[in-house]
Amino acid sequence: MGIEGIGARVARKEDKRFITGLGRYVDDMVVPGMKHAVFVRSPHAHAAIKGIDATAAKAMPGVIDVLTGPELKADGIGNLICGWMIHSKDGSPMKMGAWSPLAVDRVRYVGEAVAIVVAETRNQARDAAEAVEVSYEEMPAVTDAARALDAGAPQLHPEAEGNLIYDWEIGEAAAVDEALAKAAHVTRLKLVNNRLVPNAMEPRAALGHYDMAEDHFTLWTTSQNPHVARLVMSAFYNVAPENKLRVIAPDVGGGFGSKIYIYPEEIVCLWASKRTGVPVKWTADRTESFMCDAHGRDHHTEVALGFDADNRMVALKVDTIANFGAYMSLFSSAVPTYLYATLLSGQYVIPKIHCNVRAVYTNTAPVDAYRGAGRPEATYVLERTVETAARELGISPAELRRRNFIREFPYQTPVIMNYDAGDYEASLDAAMRAADYDGFPARREEAKKRGKLRGIGMSCYIEACGIAPSQAVGSLGAGVGLWESAEVRVNAAGTIEVLTGSHSHGQGHETTFAQVVASRFGVPLDQVSIVHGDTDKVQMGMGTYGSRSGAVGASAIVKALDKVEAKAKKIAAHLLEADEGDIVIENGEAKVAGTDKSLPWAQVALAAYTAHNLPEGMEPGLKETSFYDPTNFTFPAGCYIAEVEVDPETGHTDIVQFVAADDFGNIINPLIVEGQVHGGLAQGIGQALLEGCHYDPASGQLVTASYMDYTMPRAGDLPSFKVSTTNTPCPGNPLGVKGCGEAGAIGSPPAIINAITDAIGTNALDMPATPQKVWAAMK
Amino acid sequence: MHQTTYHRASSISEAVKMLKEAEDGKFVAGGQTLIPTMKQRLAAPSDLIDLRHIGELKGIEVAGNTVKIGAGTTHAEVARDAALAKACPALCHLAAHIGDPHVRHMGTLGGSIANNDPAADYPAAVLALAATVHTNKREIAADDFFVDLFETALEDDEIVTAISFAVPEKAGYAKFPNPASRYALTGVFVAKHADGVRAAVTGAGENGVFRAEAIEKALVGAFEASALDGTTVPADGLMSDIHASAEYRANLIVVMAKRAVQAANGG
Ligand SMILES: Cc1cc2nc3c(=O)[nH]c(=O)nc-3n(C[C@H](O)[C@H](O)[C@H](O)COP(=O)(O)OP(=O)(O)OC[C@H]3O[C@@H](n4cnc5c(N)ncnc54)[C@H](O)[C@@H]3O)c2cc1C
């Protein structure tokens, strides 16, 4: 592996600029003549707009213009769309309500954008925004998805009767019911997967610049996928054709999914720049992030898991209501269907599975993919149910899991996914050893003496990464292909630039991707640069989410490297007067195997560009592109074990130990993988113990609109994690990698809740398990 | 934030004069409450009169049986004062658990009690210690100082200059932090004085800080945590919000009182 190559613990190249404050984020960008935007937002959860009077606001100091929804419509700007078609079980297409980037006649959640104010300074824009008079006629609101389905509930969209977007199913309902009826034991649970606010450290921002001379737009935006943003804004929102729109996502301070989507603000800033003739910048404040970033999760689920007399799983039935908020965000429809129900087999042989999902509109912020996206929800359903079943059946949770593990690969689940490789027992064993599982009873006794209730809980998760084979997702309704692209440019002096369609917003691609390249030719890491996040520089790409950048993005780089290597070998063979098949490139040299003949890498590169002496008919240059389309998802899996102590007097939970044993396939950089796991665990533990987005059910106001009320995990809330990996290489891609970005957030919530319910001896507990809730559960 | 004009006062009288001359002025000390409020545009004073550079407002004095702390003393200064740590370690402990290091190095005792946030820590100490609040105009007994949520006996142009109190025989503070804000979800300060026990509760009362009679009564006989076994406090008059129901707060009052007594007794 070498000290910098694949598998080496290389410190992140990008961290120096981040921790010295030299990162360049959208809000750092300055364009001559740039002005500042503030949005006028709805204070109501549901209201009709009776009129907007901006006369006073327009007359205020520094104000350039105030623009509203009707003007945007008049200019032909399109509605926001959801790009993944889901059909209900009756065959009808999902019911998508119109979402105008600026509300036209109705607002449907607190914070919905109604108008944009552009002014010389941000403060002036804010002053003027307060002076825009919007007359609203308030309407009754509904925030809870289950209640939104009730007869007589407030209705959000004429397109979606009863607030129902789709009623979708997978699997054979009748066969599952029959198997459950015959089962020796059925475990049933009702679970809530709490709504989360993503809380990226960098708030969203957009700087739209219309260049009148060139009739060309540039957008700097906080995006995980700038090319997709360009495509969608061109194809659906009529902002500008692709060749007239450049989208740049520079340093981006965290996304967790929330920066995949194209939001109203970006579209409006671009359009406003053309309308006003000035570049327009908007940066969200933290309250706007809480109100307007796409939220995550928010499921209500009923589950039944049947066992035969030997404690083998026979059937699983899941019924979920998914809260979509007021509008369908870009990938919202896929999250509780193909990213959720397809993972319900977990690590187990479950012969029959049926899942029904109803997607519902409510007067809340749109909900879409958030770190894990569907897989945390599936894992929570399954792993709480399995742990509960073990308690009901009087068998150890580990034993029940072992008895049901999938052991032969490939394994076709009843819910589409075909698992390619894994060794679930290996990660279970590793986790139990690391946790000293057998020593738990003694630790529980010792804790009791100190007046603490100690509990242990596990979670064996599986997830699907490397999203995704284009044809497969196309057949399931995706509006795009999910391949990735790479261009490897060897410069004349031998240094290398890699242009990737992946986008790094915390993942460390500048390091890991460079390791992949450096190890291929044996060149130093600092001679490799990774270029991403600019549609003018990089060929079309699909961006970063779903832990896809290793499995798909780096695979594209490998494919391009293959082509570069092949050409370089031809050149070297020609110059060294050797057979192409005898050339090896390593340690920065092209060598003739078995001889002492060699050429430095830089000379091979130079020869490609001087073109003085190339093989007959060869084009000059050393630069290759590849578009890599994966053949399957990848399936990271693992076992997490949490040990907690609950204070019976206050209900406060301390995590005293947390063990993660993951199977991520081959690992490019263990340091970065550990960092990803730590971050994922922090978010998973946040969901389990601390974070809960709360709307007041009567008014639809967002109660948790700041850190005064929304509990972000702090370092002090987290234990020192014990992480390790037991890896089975992924057979599906050239690097054998699976993906590690979301596992921590996927696997940890049920482990924590299982540990708490073990400690307190009651299973009726929903996330977040705040002290008050744990105390109430114990009463 | 709206436009505001900043003034730096170097004496109490200058500060009062500056306030008088301002159209809609406000004193600012650490700014840890006022500035965020202004940023959210919930307050928009025309002028800010900074009290942080007034020497008379600073310092901690322990003389014999009396402690006097200047209103401009930061939480961090209170937390690490060696003489105070001997006289009333509970107060150092309290100050050390306010907010985060940034807040503790900016926020002041005077700002905290003048603001009288129902979840702030200091009001519990001031009330339980039967402290006297000194202002540029008068002395106010703690029992008369805290009026209601964010409301005190202070007049608009009145500046808290210090608090003083007699060193208690024993005192302890236990706080159950709000998981999100880390203010007190419920905090109880108990103090054993020569003439009785005072227990003040913050974070829980619908009208702000208050004395918990049931706790005080139970502790009069024996200043021991076990004296509170079986004691309950009514949930009536306690706050209910997404973090804690009134019943949960009632429970926390007793639990935190026990822990405060334990701390006061040295463990
Ligand atoms: C992130 C964060 C966490 C916090 N956590 C806690 C916590 O856990 N517990 C807690 O108790 N507090 C907490 N606080 C509040 C903090 O303690 C504040 O410092 C304090 O409440 C106000 O003090 P200040 O000096 O900053 O006052 P300022 O914000 O400057 O002023 C507050 C008010 O008091 C007035 N005022 C200030 N000084 C005087 C004076 N001498 N005389 C008369 N009026 C005056 C001002 O005019 C203003 O109305 C937190 C604050 C933040 C930002």
Give pLDDT, residue A4: 85
* Confidence at residue B1, expressed as pLDDT on a 0 to 100 scale: 80
- What is the rounded distance in angstroms from the CA atom of residue A333 to the CA atom of residue A368? 8
What is the distance in angstroms between the Cα of B187 and the nearest Cα belonging to chain A? 13
Q: Is B42 on the interface with A (CB under 8 A)?
A: no
Contact A650 B2 (CB under 8 A): no
C-alpha angle with apex A84: A532 to A336, nearest 5 degrees?
A: 100
**To which H or E segment does residue A177 belong?**
helix A173-182
Predicted pLDDT of residue A1: 44
- Smallest Cβ–Cβ distance between A710 and the set B3, B180, B244 belongs to B180
User: Do the domains at A299-468+632-778 and A483-628 have one common CATH topology?
Assistant: yes
Q: What is the mean pLDDT of residues A429-453?
A: 98
pLDDT for A159-185, tens place per residue? 999 999 999 999 999 999 999 999 999
State whether B32 and B162 are in the same domain.
Answer: no
Residue in A694, A711, A772 nearest the CB of B245: A772
CB A52 within 8 A of CB A68: yes
- Are B62 and B43 contained in the same domain? no
Give me the residue from A130, A694, A772 closest to B248, CB to CB: A772
Nearest-atom number in ligand 1 for the CA of B183 is 8
**Assigned architecture for domain A18-139+201-254+259-292:** Alpha-Beta Complex (3.90)
pLDDT tens per residue across span B55-72: 999 999 999 999 999 999
Backbone angles phi, psi at A676, to 5 degrees: -65, -40
B41 touches chain A (CB under 8 A): yes
Q: Contact at 8 Å (CB) between A306 and A58?
A: no
Which of A482, B248, A706, B149 minimizes the C-alpha distance to B256?
A: B248
Pocket lining for ligand 1, CB < 6 angstroms: B 26-34, 36, 51, 71, 98-99, 103, 106-108, 110-112, 114-115, 117, 120-122, 154, 159-160, 182-183
Is B251's Cβ below 8 Å from some Cβ in A? yes
Verify that B9 and B124 share a domain, yes or no. Answer: no
Is there a single domain that holds both residue B21 and residue B98? no
ipTM above 0.85, yes or no: yes
Count of CB pairs separated by less than 8 Å, A with B: 46
Contact by Cβ (8 Å): A346, A381 = no
CATH 3.30.365.10 fits A299-468+632-778, yes or no: yes
What SS3 class is residue A713?
coil
Read off the pLDDT of residues A720-761 as tens digits, 9 standing for 90 and up. Answer: 999 999 999 999 999 999 999 999 999 999 999 999 999 999
Q: Of the candidates A123, A650, A712, which has its C-beta nearest B255's C-beta?
A: A650
CATH of the domain at B22: 3.30.43.10
B76-87 burial, b at 16+ Cβ within 10 Å, e below that, comes to bbbbebeebbeb
Same domain flag for B35 and B66:
no
Nearest-Å Rg of the Cα atoms of chain A is 27
Question: Do A770 and B243 count as a contact with CB atoms less than 8 A apart?
Answer: yes
Mutate to test the interface with A, among B176, B238, B256 (most CBs of A within 10 A): B176
DSSP A523-534: --GGGEEEE-SB
Co-location of B29 and B135 in the same domain: no
Where do runs of H (alpha helix) occur along B148-245? 213-221
Residue A685: closest CA among A643, A664, A713? A713
- Whether residues B84 and B40 fall in one domain: no
**Cα distance between residue A689 and residue A73, in whole Å:** 44
Confidence check: pLDDT of B137 > 60:
yes
User: In total, how many domains does chain B have?
Assistant: 2
Task: State yes or no: pLDDT of A279 exceeds 90.
Answer: yes
Is the distance from CB of A8 to CB of A669 less than 8 angstroms? yes
Return d(Cα A501, Cα A746) in angstroms, integer: 25
Instruction: Indicate whether A700 pLDDT > 50.
Output: yes
User: Is the Cβ pair B248, A649 closer than 8 Å?
Assistant: no
Q: Which stretches of chain B are DSSP H helices?
A: 12-21, 34-39, 75-79, 82-87, 89-96, 101-106, 109-115, 122-128, 142-145, 213-221, 246-264
Q: b/e string for B165-203 if b means 16 or more Cβ within 10 A?
A: bbbbebbbbbbbbbbbbbbbbbbbbbbbbeeebbbbbbb
* Three-class SS of A256-298: CCCCCCCCHHHHHHHHHHHHHCCCEEEECCHHHHHHHCCEECC
Q: Which domain holds residue B45?
A: 5-49
Q: Based on the domain organization, do B162 and B62 belong to the same domain?
A: yes
10 Å CB burial of residue A779 (0-12, 13-18, 19+) is: exposed
Q: Say yes or no: B38 and B159 in one domain.
A: no
Closest to A250 measured CA to CA, from A34, A33, A29, A37 = A29
Q: Does B145 touch chain A (CB under 8 A)?
A: no
Q: What is the pLDDT of residues A641-684, one digit of tens each?
A: 999 999 999 999 999 999 999 999 999 999 999 999 999 999 99
B contacts of A711 (beta carbons < 8 Å)? 179-180
Q: Name beta bridge partners: A67.
A: A116
- Average pLDDT over chain B, rounded to an integer: 97
Q: Classify residue A568 by its DSSP letter.
A: H
Q: Are residues B142 and B178 in the same domain?
A: yes
Mean pLDDT of chain A, nearest integer: 97
Q: Is A377 helix (H, G, I), strand (E, B) or coil?
A: helix
Residue A24 has a pLDDT of 97
Q: Which helix (H) or strand (E) holds A585?
A: strand A583-586
Q: Which of B1, B12, B18, B28 to mutate to test the pocket of ligand 1 (most atoms within 8 A of CB)?
A: B28
Cα-Cα-Cα-Cα dihedral sign, residues A101, A107, A109, A110: positive
- The model's pTM: 0.97
For the record, the structure tokens of A703 come out as: 């109660």
Whether the per-residue pLDDT at A480 is higher than 50: the answer is yes
Ligand 1, residue B35: give the atom nearest the CA.
Answer: 29
How far is the CA of B258 from the CAs of B208, B216, B227, in angstroms? 21, 11, 9
pLDDT at A688: 98
For residue A450, which residues of chain B lie inside 8 Å, CB to CB? none
Q: Are residues B30 and B63 in the same domain?
A: no
Average pLDDT for residues B34-42, to the nearest whole number?
94
pLDDT of residue A276: 98
Q: What average pLDDT does the segment B89-105 reach?
A: 97
Fold of A483-628: Aldehyde Oxidoreductase; domain 4 (3.30.365)
Mean pLDDT of A589-597: 96
Work out the burial of residue A402: count CB atoms within 10 Å of its CB; fewer than 13 is exposed, 13-18 middle, 19 or more buried: middle
Mean pLDDT of B129-146: 98
pLDDT at B2: 84
Rg of chain B over CA atoms, in angstroms? 18
Q: What is the domain partition of chain A in residue ranges? A: 18-139+201-254+259-292, 299-468+632-778, 483-628
β-pairing verdict for A583-586 and A722-725: unpaired
On chain A, the residues whose CB falls within 8 A of the CB of B179 are: 690, 711, 770-771
State the pLDDT confidence band at A2, using cuts at 50, 70 and 90. low
- The arithmetic mean of pLDDT across residues A547-573, rounded, is 97
